[in-house]
Amino acid sequence: MQTLDEILKSRRDTRHFTSDEVPDAVIQKALQAGHWAPSVGLTDATKYYLIKSDEIKKAVKELFLDYDTKAANQTDSEEQKEDYKALKLEAIQEAPLGLVICYDRSVLNNFTIGTVGSNEAIKFSSVCAAQNIWLSLTEQGYSMGWISILNYYQFKQLLGLPEHIEPLGYFCVGKPATDYDNQPMLQQLNWKQKSEVPFVEEILVPVTYPESLQETKQIHTESRSIKDALQHKIDNKTKPLGSLGILEKLAQQIGELFQTLEPKIFQPNIVVFAADHGIAVHGVSAYPQDVTRQMVTNFLEGGAAINVFCKQNSISLSIVDAGVNYDFPPNANLISTKIAKGTQSFLHGPAMSDSELSLCFAKGAAVVNTIAKTASNCIGFGEMGIGNTSTASVLMSVITKIPLEDCVGLGTGVSDAKLIQKQKILQAAVDNYSGSQELDEKLAYFGGFEIIQMASGMLAAHENNMLILVDGFICSVAFLIAHQKNPEIIKNAVFSHCSAEQAHVKLLDYLGVQPVLQLGLRLGEGTGCAIAFPIIESAVAFLNEMASFDSAGVNNK
């Protein structure tokens, strides 16, 4: 019998198998070893599916071959490409048994000890199970190979796995046909050499971050001549004074912002920041936390309301993962500014660290600065995150001193009974706060990754002299934070609508601003910005194209 050290040092990932069947007793013993692996919070989130069907194996292999071709094309070196194609990276049809090791994300819908710091710990538990299975199989004279070069979406569809079940990959199980000279196959074939010893380094001092990554804001001097000239131009259009209402105010604001009598909107862009919130585990939302991840996927696939309205109005759409509790596969349409996989619950402690707060300010600004470089001068802000109305309500209350009960609403649509429970939980969180009255300390304690990144993005938009479109309640709280940092930002902002969230009108009144629309919206995603955008275009159009009394020969008396 091999010693444990011998097993650990031997070939880990088998790609060549004999045709010998795997006895049921062998696989059951191995799966039991997987079940004994460490499981965060004893969630038992790991699930196993056995594949013996030749038809399924063939279909899985076709999925592999499709992605294997794409993998080979990732290198520009023809020599490396040919070397890659020569490697045997699968044994899907040759291995007598297929095993799919998965983890069940639905366990996160309930509070689980051990997932607070990293909600993806359930995935790590499943990896531990995979390692135990490999150890057990090797001890019994068998082995397995891990296939991860797959389109996981198609893989789940092929196997009929439920939406909440996430596979680690496809594992080939059988009796190894070679010992690979007791070394990894890639090393044996000189593809890559494994270092002899592990990397180990002791960290002796903590890493420090700057207090703030925000630059000092400059106050722009208002041009009185432009202001008066714009007002004169608006008043002399062929209409009674003030008859275009809020359109006249918008035209004046946009002209002053861009310092021109003929303003134009270029490359409008709406950015949706998404993140998860630790407070959600206390049942403050009508939806489970996993909906955040599902909706981000919906945004990327073009199926959400914001996709429809942006397409309708020719607005570019950017989706940002600011801290969603999920590892999204690589996607060119997803901007990753992930700080962590969701904040901590602020019921008994801070939602984020000071360094995470600083990173939020840095990363949110970077997203907007990149968009500004495309010559965009108009940017809207939207959000997605289960539990973020609770976060926004608390932030509004602690910043404005408005009573919390006036800041808490239905959010995604909780029942009246759940609303009372939500108010009690949030009030308890506020009562538990013993920190200072400094803004940044409150933001770190109660903040959300997407809310802080939006606030930072708005400040960056102000510095880039962009028109800022603010969506509903949560985005208005982000603006409140930005306004606390730099009151001059109010000149850039257009508040697209007043939402059905009961605190929104109070916040708009606090800021002394008037929304463009009153449609009873409470969807988020930046939808209010997209819907209000044609009205902003109308304000610019009448200012630039409508005749004056003089040019039209119309009497203005």
For residue 220, what pLDDT is reported?
41
For 178, the token pair is 């070679």
Question: Among residues 449, 434, 404, 399, which one has the least CA distance to residue 422?
Answer: 404
Q: What is the pTM of this model?
A: 0.72
DSSP labels, 22-47: --HHHHHHHHHHHHTS--GGG---EE
CB 500 within 8 A of CB 528: no
Three-class DSSP category at 99: strand
**Beta-bridge partners for 143:** 174
Rounded (to 5) percent helix, strand, coil in the chain: 50, 10, 40
What residues does each domain of the chain span?
Answer: 4-189, 265-536
- C-alpha angle 287-290-296 in degrees, rounded to nearest 5: 105
CB 247 within 8 A of CB 542: yes
For residue 531, what pLDDT is reported?
97
**CA-to-CA distance for 137 and 124, rounded, in angstroms?**
20
DSSP-derived secondary structure letter, 114: T
Helix axes 388-400, 439-446, angle to 10 degrees: 160
For residue 411, what pLDDT is reported?
53
CB 282 within 8 A of CB 392: no
- C-alpha angle 385-209-383 in degrees, rounded to nearest 5: 15
**CA-to-CA distance for 338 and 292, rounded, in angstroms?**
14
For residue 8, what pLDDT is reported?
80
365: phi then psi, degrees, rounded to nearest 5 = -65, -40
Edge-to-edge strand list for the sheet holding 378-384:
334-336, 316-323, 269-275, 378-384, 467-470, 493-495
H or E segment and range at residue 67: helix 54-72
CB 438 within 8 A of CB 193: no
Positions annotated as catalytic residues are 525
CB 363 within 8 A of CB 322: yes
For residue 6, what pLDDT is reported?
79
Q: What is the dihedral of CA 87, 92, 97, 99, to 10 degrees?
A: 90
Using a 10 angstrom Cβ sphere, with 0-12 exposed, 13-18 middle and 19 or more buried, the burial of residue 154 is middle
CATH topology of domain 265-536: Rossmann fold (3.40.50)
Strands 143-147 and 316-323: unpaired
Neighbouring CB atoms inside 10 A of 500's CB total 18
**CA-to-CA distance for 515 and 251, rounded, in angstroms?**
15
CB 121 within 8 A of CB 22: no
Question: Among residues 145, 144, 146, 152, which one has the least CA distance to residue 67?
Answer: 152
CB 164 within 8 A of CB 290: yes
Type of residue found at 112? T
CB 506 within 8 A of CB 527: no
pLDDT tens string, the chain, 557 residues long: the values are: 678 887 887 777 888 899 999 999 999 999 999 999 988 777 788 999 999 999 999 999 999 998 888 877 777 788 777 777 777 778 999 999 999 999 998 888 776 676 655 668 889 999 999 999 999 999 999 999 999 988 888 999 999 999 889 999 999 999 998 877 776 766 666 667 777 778 888 777 776 654 443 333 333 444 458 999 999 999 989 889 999 999 999 999 999 999 999 999 999 999 999 999 999 888 888 789 899 999 999 999 999 999 999 999 999 999 999 999 998 988 889 999 999 999 999 998 999 999 999 999 999 999 999 999 999 999 999 999 999 999 999 999 999 999 999 999 765 555 566 778 888 999 999 999 999 999 999 999 999 999 999 999 999 999 999 999 999 999 999 999 999 999 999 999 999 999 988 899 999 999 999 999 999 998 899 999 999 999 999 999 999 999 887 766 676 66
CATH topology of domain 4-189: NADH Oxidase (3.40.109)
For residue 502, what pLDDT is reported?
86
Type of residue found at 513? V
Using a 10 angstrom Cβ sphere, with 0-12 exposed, 13-18 middle and 19 or more buried, the burial of residue 283 is middle
**CA-to-CA distance for 478 and 450, rounded, in angstroms?**
9
For residue 453, what pLDDT is reported?
98
